[in-house]
Amino acid sequence: MSDDVSLKKGGVTRRGFLTVAVSAIVAGVVAGVGAYFAAPVKEVTKTLERTVTTTMTLAPGAPVTTTVTVTAPPTTVTTTITKTVTPTITVTPTLPLADQVVKIGSVLPLTGAASTMGYQYYRGQQLAVEEINEQGGILGAKVQLLVEDYAGDPKVALSATEKLITVDKVHVITGPTISAAALVMQEVTERHKTPFLCIAAADELAQKGYRYWFRITQSASELTKGTFMFLNEVIKPKTIGIIHDLSLRGVSTKNAFLELAKQYGYEPNFVEGYSVGTLDFKPLIEKMKLADPDVLLFVAYTTDAILLAKQMAELKYKPKAVVVEAGMQSFDFLEPAGTYVKGWFIQTEWWPDRNYPDYDMVFEVGLKYWKRWGKPMDNMAQEGYTHCDILKDAIERAKSLDPTAIRDALAQTDLFLPYLGRVRFGPDGHRIDALATFGVAQVLPAKPETPWQVNGLSFYTVWPEKMKTTEPVYPMPP
């Protein structure tokens, strides 16, 4: 734009009348831009009048004074009004990770006994990734999921983790739901300095001193502690029995049950282990019937729990209460087990029917998942969803896809998620105050307004007070 400023003039004729000219010159310079912006010209028209006295000589010595009023023609006074304008400059923020891809490697059991848990976790991840990418990614970087099925075999989990890191070049590893697999994966992720967002509960996982390992779920001992708090406050049993599988998680949980039973003054009158994939629980059930504990504490994978429930019904064995681990809070369990598990209590790390932190916020996330997948968002799905939110927060603070930078940001996490609660990690990588989000749900007749129900049943949070939406039923309903 030229720096010249044009000036318009207007006036009357020269026949003795008044010439009026009004001019205004305004130049606007915008600092830092080097240009000015002129507003449109505004024209003002004024009528000017003037009385003129003329002396005329008619004869010598006889002056006559004549007054003549002359109205000057309209004079257009053009005023050029310019105004300094500061331009609005929209600056698109620089996205430091634009055109890059965040690669998340998931090692999950998508076949085998734990496949229901693996798929729920994976669906939760997919929903979160879809939402993040629709919102522009993470600092401009799109998120990509790369999934490896290890079918429940820790050896396969190890090689799958190695492949994701060295061949696929993922920035973070997630999974695997099974503690025995997590144990071998820890060594690989630590050696390659790759962050590992883990879902597995064995206490041993937090005792290795690994720096790249992080867990938000409750540990086995925390889950059992929460269970005994519930028993002591609500059930108040006289006797307890323990049945568990012989996996790393099962044995770890059994040991925690025994330790806490002593602290709370209970003497278990039945403790029995079994091999994962057992096809006939009837001999074991007959032993349980003889012991007849008030409460049966049960640690199992989904397929084993379904078979046990059916065979308990066949033998007409129904203790006053059954409490099972959080992995059972799934329609993959409730649909085939049906009325066999009516009244069972379930450890719940998360469920869309709870009053904490806020019922509406929790329900909203659960409803999104339900609409996307036609399944309720259980703790496994929530963990997959939450891991992506935690990773997004860490990368935004790190402003980098360097795995070590991401690890350092994860270690400094202090994040409040409105559908879960506060997330922070201790020096051992385990979530600080993880029990704050632990609860107990019960399989009860479904309320008409509950979206997620099957066989006329659903899960309802019954403990603790801050979370519950329904009163617990004990002894179990027929």
pLDDT digits (tens, 9 = 90+) for 413-465: 999 999 999 999 999 999 999 999 999 999 999 999 999 999 999 999 999 99
127 has pLDDT over 70:
yes
Q: What whole-number percentage of the chain has pLDDT above 90?
A: 70
At 2-45, the pLDDT tens digits run 333 333 333 333 333 333 332 333 333 233 333 333 334 444 44
Lowest-confidence segment of 69-73, 93-97, 106-110, 443-447 by average pLDDT: 69-73
Distance CA 380, CA 65 (A): 112
pLDDT band at 79 (very low <50, low <70, confident <90, very high): very low
118 has pLDDT over 60:
yes
pLDDT, position 28: 35
Q: Which whole number is the average pLDDT over 344-364?
A: 95
Helices 248-263, 179-191: crossing angle, 10 deg rounding: 110
81 has pLDDT over 70:
no
Extract the tokens encoding 342: 């009516």
Contact assessment for residue 453 and residue 446, using Cβ atoms and an 8 Å cutoff: yes
Q: Which whole number is the average pLDDT over 290-317?
A: 92
Q: Which whole number is the average pLDDT over 389-399?
A: 98
The full set of domains in the chain, from first to last, is 1-91 (no CATH), 101-217+358-433 (3.40.50.2300), 221-357+437-463 (3.40.50.2300)
Lowest-confidence segment of 73-77, 103-107, 423-427 by average pLDDT: 73-77
Peptide bond between residue 357 and the one before it cis (omega within 30 degrees of 0): yes
Contact assessment for residue 79 and residue 9, using Cβ atoms and an 8 Å cutoff: no
pLDDT, position 224: 87
Gyration radius from the chain CA atoms: 39
pLDDT, position 301: 82
At 222-275, the pLDDT tens digits run 998 999 999 999 999 999 999 999 988 889 889 989 999 989 998 899 999 999
pLDDT, position 241: 95
Listed residue (216, 252, 157) closest to 410, CA to CA: 216
Helices 179-191, 154-166: crossing angle, 10 deg rounding: 30
pLDDT, position 325: 82
Helices 379-398, 403-411: crossing angle, 10 deg rounding: 110
49 has pLDDT over 60:
no
pLDDT band at 384 (very low <50, low <70, confident <90, very high): very high
Contact assessment for residue 376 and residue 353, using Cβ atoms and an 8 Å cutoff: no
pLDDT, position 86: 53
Stronger pLDDT, 406 or 35, i.e. the higher one: 406
Q: What are phi and psi of 177, to 5 degrees?
A: 80, -30
pLDDT, position 346: 95
pLDDT, position 59: 37
Contact assessment for residue 353 and residue 469, using Cβ atoms and an 8 Å cutoff: yes
Q: Which helix (H) or strand (E) holds 345?
A: strand 345-348
Give the position of tokens 């979206």.
451
Contact assessment for residue 115 and residue 178, using Cβ atoms and an 8 Å cutoff: no
Maximum CA pair distance of the chain?
A: 156
Q: What is the pTM of this model?
A: 0.77
At 128-179, the pLDDT tens digits run 999 999 999 999 999 999 999 999 999 999 999 999 999 999 999 999 999 9
Helices 115-134, 359-373: crossing angle, 10 deg rounding: 100
Return the HEC string of 57-114.
EEECCEEEEEEEEEECCCEEEEECCCCCCCCCCCCCCCCCCCCCEEEEEEEECCCCCC
Buried b (16+ CB within 10 A) or exposed e, 209-241: ebbbbbbbbbbbbbbbbbbbbbbeebbebebbb
pLDDT, position 326: 67
pLDDT, position 51: 38
Reduce the DSSP state of residue 367 to 3 states and report it: helix
Contact assessment for residue 147 and residue 122, using Cβ atoms and an 8 Å cutoff: yes
Give the position of tokens 């007849």.
292
